[in-house]
Amino acid sequence: MANVSGRQVRVDYVLPSVDLKIVGGGVFWPFEDDDPQSYKLAEKASDHRLVWIDVKM
């Protein structure tokens, strides 16, 4: 873990095998304007994000 300005910082990521072809990916997080209740719940639950990738095998 890195320590930046006295805070511990963690990075959310996906590390696929080198033999997989990545065809897409992203980070899921509800938009505050689209769904304020889900956004507030997600912010309260965790500072981590759902990271995903699509692979071709």
pLDDT (tens digit per residue) in 6-25 = 666 677 888 999 999 999 99
Q: Is the pLDDT of residue 27 over 70?
A: yes
Token look-up 């997080």 returns 29
pLDDT band at 1 (very low <50, low <70, confident <90, very high): very low
16-40: average pLDDT: 92
pTM of the model: 0.59
Average pLDDT, the chain: 84
pLDDT of residue 21: 94
pLDDT at 22: 95
Nearest to 1 by CA among 52, 48, 35: 48
Strand ranges in 1-57 using DSSP code E only, listed in sequence order:
2-4, 7-9, 21-28, 50-56
